[in-house]
Amino acid sequence: MLGLNKKDTGLLLIVAVLALFAPIIFNPFPSDSAMAQFNAGYPDLMQRFVIFGIFAIGYNILFGLTGYLSFGHAAFLGVGSYAAVWMFKLLSMNILPAIALSIVIAGVFAALIGYVSLRRSGIYFAILTLAFAQMSYNLAYSVLTPITNGETGLQLSLDDPRILDGAPESVGSLPYPTLLGFEMSDTYVMAAGGWQFQFSVGYYVCAVVLLLAFYLSIRIFRSPFGMMLRAVKSNQQRLNYTGVNARPYTLAAFVISGMYAGLAGGLMASMDPLAGADRMQWTASGEVVLMTILGGAGTLIGPVLGAGFIKYFENIFSKINDTILHQWFAIMPDGIEDVLVALVHPFVGKGWHLTLGILFMLVVIFLPGGLVEGGQRIAGLFRRRKTDNDGDGDTGSSTSKDPAE
Amino acid sequence: MSKTTFTRRGVLRTGAVAGAGVALPTIFTASSAAAFTNEPTGNTVTLGFNVPQTGPYADEGADELRAYKLAVEHLNGEGDGGMMNTFSSKALQGNGILGKKVEFVTGDTQTKSDAARASARSMIEKDGAIMVTGGSSSGVAIAVQGLCQEAGVIFMAGLTHSNDTTGKDKKANGFRHFFNAYMSGAALAPVLAARYGEDRKAYHLTADYTWGWTQEESIVAATEALGWETVNTVKTPLSATDFSSYIAPVMNSGADVLVLNHYGGNMVNSLTNAVQFGLKNKSVNGKNFEIVVPLYSRLMARGAGENVKGILGSTNWHWSLTDAGSKAFVKSFGEKYGFPPSQAAHTCYVQTLLYADAASRAGSFNPCAIGEALEGFEFDGLGNGKTLYRADDHQCFKDVLVVQGKENPQSEFDLLEVVEVTPAAQVTYPPDHPMFAGGSLGSCNPGS
């Protein structure tokens, strides 16, 4: 289907089903239960899963295929966000021109940075991209304040021209980003028993874009171009000796992944019309590297899993405070309750970085191929047992049994 | 690579599916029954406390969180009631807000606008928070204020000192109790003139971002009005940790006052460098060289240690104040945590009480009703004397403290002494003052 082989079609379908039912899948606990703390099925977090998934898919095209470790990809995300917010301010609240411009600007930006940085490889390339990204961050933070609004971040304001939208219907309130007349913030809340499922327009727009981005990434992985990129990764010198100039290929991969980052930035601004300089900081660039490695570099689904994993920790674990811990352990006797709270305390709330760090170490040590490798091992276990028992039917968890490539 | 065949049936089918897909989103526009975002329906009401728990302002964030927890206790009728007993409005009964028990959720802003907005959105979308408060930097406060305006909940700003929060970026759903850079300048300048004379030459080092600029602009305007001359203003990068290369030119510039428009770790480092270069003991133009730090906090003073002795600055509130409200607050905070609260803790505690009080007086949690109740509200007994929440820009007008690093501190918390309490009238400015021009409140947004 769609020019994909059977395995890839299956993978795409799994991602599509996951994306479609995410508001239900990520909300497994009734909203008044104690476990509701762990629900991730609210629009903002699901949008973040998807947007950072797109960002990581794009990053993986560069890092996973060519092996070039870029430490400056957040710059493209930031540039994309600024471009999108400026479109909202000047042209229209429709998200299509905003996203289109953010992809184009990020692409041009990536071409400039890539042209210079790709003259070197390995650690020198990483440092060059890091330097460019930090430069962009510092410029956005102070010198370019007329364009970026500095520390405060670029926001919409009431007196923006918005030439295509004409006069706003209600003076005094800011307009929302729209697509075909639907506001991104519209949410339909479905109450089913104790559960509350939130279906948000913004999320589904992101999900559709994710599917397109994922499909494109599969096609790039399977194309002759993708094969050439893998050749660059395995031995660039040999490639040079055979008379192939690798630089156009790496530059193309760099620009494509930059455009992916711009797309993610534009989407982020469409869901929440603000662009801040700290989106470009080196920690943000490092985060996408972590996502890719955690999920499994060079695999199709890995980056998406890694992005979801990190964003889940950032948003869910950071919000568990001592009061909640005391509620959990309330059934224990007082002394034991306090001890348990004291034991768990360093790992939740402001200690979420610690938990994430430990998990990252465990994954890198025991599963060098990332979460995807973990999924494959589990699937392998089941498969062996299945042949033993001669059983059939669905096995493994739906997210983790995906093949690596 | 792929084979494409068009058939009449296939095209029809695709068209039908596409049509259904386009029609589908209309079911999402069905409006919910609630009159406003997160209308509390049970017997509890949820507040969102969004503070930096990691990053450069984690100390301030931790203190803010302590204050919020104390405020929630007092609102729910636990503890000794703190400033609720001295507050001039008696609408709060100690039975929660409007009879609903106050619960809270916390989040980590990481002092990044993105993380702060993600955290605030999860509070609103997932936890059903009816009000969001917090922030230890102006960038974050302005970003979250914009978000709350869009989402239709009230934002009660924590520590944010930039003019823009209630200036060009003001929003109808946002309210600030903390003072601002203009007020620092207006309060500080007369004291500077009285102490150091009216023919001084000032040299500014300024953190290179929005807050630093508004701070510098305010101080330059206020001191020049008194006859000072500004020799030079130099921007320093926010990430700088060593300011030696910025301090050296000061000594040859002919300036006799150094103004450090820095906050947090920046201020600690720049002040330490300046003292190491012997600026405090220097004399230029026949006058003793002076250093000024316009925005002081106790946490910063502790970081700078010995170096703050004798250095003037301004602050929103200090625990050594002796009015009934401050004493009650210091007492209940001290009993719970064992040390006195910082100004960040104070403003956050007060903001929570003010919100609860406004809801009680309005008889509703509707953001528009609460906004109306807060606009033009005059109150007393919350530690700053008589205070007005001005309707034009949602900024509180109250006395500003001019403080000085203490020569002989009695404890690690006793680092600042109050030099003068500048009356509110002296720091009040018209709503259309040029430093605050350019924005508009818009109309209040109650959300869905």
Nearest to B47, CA basis, from B99, B97, B110, B108:
B97
Chain B from 196 to 225: CB within 8 A of any A CB? 208-211
Q: Is B143 within 8 Å of A276 when comparing Cβ atoms?
A: yes
Residue B89 sits in the same domain as residue B169: yes
Annotate B286-305 with DSSP letters as a single string. TEE-EEEEEE--HHHHHHHG
Q: Per-residue pLDDT for B263 more than 80?
A: yes
The whole-angstrom separation of Cα B65 and Cα B94 is 20
> Do the chains contact at B53 and A172, CB–CB below 8 Å?
no
Cα distances (Å, whole numbers) of residue B191 to A291, B312, B361, B421: 54, 9, 39, 10
Contact residues on chain B for A319, CB-CB shorter than 8 A: 105-108, 119, 122
Closest alpha carbon to B422 in B407, B404, B402? B402
Share of chain A above pLDDT 70, in %: 93
Which of B49, B113, B444 to probe the A interface (max A CBs under 10 A)?
Answer: B113
The residue of chain A with its CA nearest to that of B107 is: A319
Q: Is residue B446 in a domain?
A: no
**With contact defined as beta carbons under 8 Å apart, do B316 and B397 qualify?**
no
**pLDDT at B370 (0 to 100):** 93
Give Cα separations from B181 to A59, B290, B319 (angstroms): 42, 20, 21
Closest residue on chain B to A274 (Cα): B143
Cross-strand bridge partners of residue B176: B157, B395
Amino acid at A13: L
Q: Can you count the helices (H) and strands (E) in chain A?
A: 16, 6
* Cross-chain Cβ contact A276/B139 below 8 Å: yes
B342 and B218 co-located in one domain: no
Does the distance separating the beta carbons of A319 and B122 come in below 8 Å? yes
Q: Please, which pLDDT band fits residue B125 given cuts at 50, 70 and 90?
A: confident
A330-355 pLDDT, tens digit per residue, is 777 878 888 888 888 888 877 888 88
Model pLDDT, residue B211: 86
pLDDT digits (tens, 9 = 90+) for B351-401: 999 999 999 999 999 999 999 999 999 999 998 889 999 999 999 999 999
* Interface contacts (A, B; CB < 8 Å): 142
pLDDT confidence bin for B191, thresholds 50/70/90: very high
Domain shared by B188 and B304, yes or no? yes
Answer with the one of B367, B394, B421 that is the final residue of a domain: B394
Do B50 and B135 sit in the same domain of this protein?
Answer: yes
**Domain range for B215:** 182-315
> Is residue B379 assigned to a domain?
yes
Q: Which of these, B140, B118, B162, lies nearest to B61 by C-alpha position?
A: B140
* Nearest chain A alpha carbon to B117: A272
Torsion on CA atoms A23, A24, A28, A31, rounded to nearest 10: 70
CATH value at residue B285 = 3.40.50.2300
Nearest to A250, CA basis, from A134, A110, A128? A110
Residue type, B439: G
Please state the separation of Cα B244 from the chain's center in Å.
30
Is residue B235 classed as helix, strand or coil in its secondary structure? strand
Tens digits of residue pLDDT in A20-67 = 998 888 888 887 777 777 888 888 899 999 999 999 999 999 999 999
How far is it, in rounded angstroms, from Cα B45 to Cα B364? Answer: 12
With contact defined as beta carbons under 8 Å apart, do B294 and B185 qualify?
Answer: yes
Closest partner residue to A158 (CB to CB) among B117, B139, B442 is B442
Q: Does B163 touch chain A (CB under 8 A)?
A: no
Q: Is residue B307 part of a domain?
A: yes
Q: Let me know: does A316 contact A345? Beta carbons within 8 Å.
A: no
B271 and B203 within one domain? yes
- Give B22→chain A minimum CA distance, Å: 9
Contacts of B445 in chain A (CB under 8 A): 173
Q: What is the pLDDT of residue B297?
A: 83
**Which among A141, A189, A318 is the nearest to B209, CB-wise?**
A141
More confident residue, A106 or B36: A106
Which of B29, B209, B237 lies nearest to residue A182, judging by beta carbons? Answer: B29
| Residue B157 shares a structural domain with residue B270 | no
The answer to whether the CB of B167 falls within 8 A of the CB of B196 is no
The residue of chain A with its CA nearest to that of B146 is: A155
- What pLDDT sits at residue A162? 81
**Does the pLDDT value for residue A152 go beyond 80?**
no
User: Within this chain, do residues B50 and B63 fall inside the same structural domain, yes or no?
Assistant: yes
Computed over every residue of chain B, the mean pLDDT equals 87
CA quadruple A191, A192, A196, A198: dihedral sign: negative
pLDDT higher than 60, residue B26: no
- Inform me whether the pLDDT recorded for B29 exceeds 50: no
| Interface confidence: ipTM more than 0.85 | no
- Per residue in A195-222, pLDDT (tens digit) is 888 888 899 999 999 999 999 999 999 9
> Total structural domains in chain B?
2
Mean pLDDT of A161-177: 72
In a domain, B403, yes or no: no
State how far the Cα of A211 lies from the Cα of A215, in Å rounded to an integer.
6
If DSSP codes are grouped into helix, strand and coil, which group holds residue A340? helix
- The reported pLDDT for the residue numbered B42 is 85
pLDDT for A403 equals: 43
Nearest to B436 by CA among B217, B282, B155: B217
Closest to B405 in 3D by CA, of B253, B300, B329, B325: B300
Nearest residue in chain A measured CA to CA from B53: A350
- Name the strand (E) or helix (H) holding B418: strand B416-422
Cα separation, A208 vs A188, in Å, equals: 18
Q: Rounded to whole angstroms, what are the CA distances from B125 to A41, A156, A231, B153? A: 10, 21, 46, 11
What does the pLDDT read at residue B19? Answer: 52
User: How far is Cα B107 from Cα B51, in angstroms, rounded to an integer?
Assistant: 6
CB-based contact (8 Å) between B125 and chain A?
yes
Taking an 8 Å cut-off on Cβ atoms, the answer to whether B113 and A278 are in contact is yes
Sort out which chain A residues have CB atoms less than 8 A from B43's CB and list them. Answer: none
Q: Classify residue A326 as left (phi > 0), alpha (psi -120 to 50) or beta.
A: alpha
Residue B65 and residue B169 in one domain: yes
Beta-carbon count within 10 A of A36 CB: 17
Q: Are residues B165 and B243 in the same domain?
A: no
Beta bridge partners of B261: B206
State which of B286, B315, B344 marks the end of a domain.
B315
Instruction: Kindly state whether residue B105 falls inside one of the protein's structural domains.
Output: yes
The 3-state DSSP class for residue B379 equals strand
Integer Cα distance of A30 and B353 in angstroms: 32
Residue B125 and residue A43: Cβ atoms within 8 Å?
yes
- Tell whether B399 is covered by a domain: no
- Whether the per-residue pLDDT at A405 is higher than 70: the answer is no
Q: Is residue B243 part of a domain?
A: yes
* Nearest of B111, B113, B118, B116 to residue B136 by alpha carbon: B111
Q: Where does B17-74 show beta strands of DSSP type E?
A: 44-51
pLDDT digits (tens, 9 = 90+) for A297-322: 888 889 999 999 898 888 888 878 77
pLDDT above 70 (res A293): yes
Q: What is the pLDDT of residue A145?
A: 82
For chain B, give the percent of residues with pLDDT over 90.
47
Measured between CB atoms, which of A141, A174, A188 is closest to B150?
A174
- Calculate the CA A227 to chain-centre distance: 25
Task: For residue A68, give the 3-state DSSP assignment.
Answer: coil
| Claim to verify: residue B248 and residue B337 sit in the same structural domain | no
Residue to substitute from B2, B14, B28, B368, interface A, most A β-carbons within 10 A: B28
Residues B171 and B186 in one domain: no
With a cut of 60, say whether residue A400 has pLDDT above it: no
pLDDT of residue B412: 81
pLDDT in the model for residue A109 = 94
Interface test with A, best of B150, B206, B236 (most A CBs within 10 A): B150
**Where a domain ends, among B394, B417, B439?**
B394
Q: Provide the H-helix boundaries in B252-400.
A: 265-276, 298-304, 324-337, 343-362, 367-374
Task: Say whether both B257 and B284 belong to one domain.
Answer: yes
In a domain, B4, yes or no: no
Q: Which class for B414: exposed (0-12), middle (13-18), buried (19 or more C-beta within 10 A)?
A: middle
Put simply, the answer to whether B143 touches A48 (Cβ < 8 Å) is no
